[in-house]
Amino acid sequence: MIQPKKIALRDQAFIRETSYVKSSRRKVRGTPTSGGVGLRHSRNPNSKGKFLSMKKIITVIATSLCFAFVAGATDVPKTEVFLGYSFVRLSSNGDIIPSRDANGGSGQFVYNFSKGFGVAFDAGAVTSGSIRHTNVDTTVAHFVVGPRYKFNQHSKFQPYVQALFGGAYTTSSTQILAVPVVNPLITVNPLIPVTGDAVSARLVGSRRSFAMLIGGGLDWKVSKRMQVRPVAFDYFMTQTQPESVITGLPRTDRTTSRNNWRYSAGVNFTFGAQ
């Protein structure tokens, strides 16, 4: 017969052995093995912080790129308006009319369809006051339209090139003096006094012609809405058909071209954004 004292000691030993096995299992579950099969690996408490830091960095980079893209898009204007001074060197007309200088102004409106490309509308007029030291007022007005391309629209200095086509209108006038000669055999209306004094008159002539402007210039960006155009050069060609001496109509068998040059400078205003 087993004594009660021995049974109690046996139970205490069994309890201690059971507690040791449970604690061993906990240690094995928390300790990674070389194979790692069937066992749990402990998580590094710093891994979660590193993941959040990387996520923040990616978010900041993506946001910066978006802002840079939007800012770059707003730098390209939708429309432009130029106003400035124009100097034109008019070519000679053979031996009759020599080369001469003309001064005036011009304006330009540009609508930009995409980055760099746009359509330009150019209009202006210049005038010259003398030909061979004779007071002959000559005015040349033009209106042309065509494509334009501007480089480096995100930078401070923006060169451009253009090819514009349209028409030109030239008018010349001069004042003349005439002294009427009174014929005693001709009856004169007594209501109209004839004193023999000089009478002034003004002769006016005009013509229309085809016009072409090919050239370019440079815009200097001084603010978001204003640019200064210090220099712009264009080849300014006009082509016309001389009139017939008999009928006074333009001759279709002959054309006359004038190779002129234009320099312009002024201020360019920008509006809107693409």
First vs last C-alpha separation in the chain: 104
In this predicted model, what pLDDT tens digit does every residue of 229-262 receive, in sequence order? 999 999 999 998 766 545 555 556 667 888 999 9
48 or 267, greater pLDDT = 267
Half-sphere exposure of 121 (CA within 13 A, CB side): 5
| Per-residue confidence (pLDDT) for residue 37, from 0 to 100 | 46
In this predicted model, what pLDDT tens digit does every residue of 144-192 receive, in sequence order? 999 999 998 889 999 999 999 999 999 888 877 665 555 555 554 555 5
Closest CA to 109 of 272, 241, 231: 272
Please check the confidence at residue 197 and state whether its pLDDT lies above 80. Answer: no
In this predicted model, what pLDDT tens digit does every residue of 107-119 receive, in sequence order? 999 999 988 899 9
What's the whole-number mean pLDDT along residues 38-49? Answer: 53
**What gap in Å lies between CA 160 and CA 165, rounded to an integer?**
17
Q: Which of 34-43, 59-68, 165-174 has the highest mean pLDDT?
A: 165-174
Segment (H or E) for 65: helix 47-74
**What gap in Å lies between CA 54 and CA 38, rounded to an integer?**
31
Half-sphere exposure of 250 (CA within 13 A, CB side): 11
Closest CA to 131 of 164, 96, 161: 96
The least confident of 29-33, 84-88, 130-134, 201-205 is 29-33
Please check the confidence at residue 78 and state whether its pLDDT lies above 80. Answer: yes
Exposed, middle or buried, 43 (CB in 10 Å: 0-12/13-18/19+)? exposed
**What gap in Å lies between CA 176 and CA 199, rounded to an integer?**
8
Q: Mean pLDDT over all residues of the chain?
A: 76
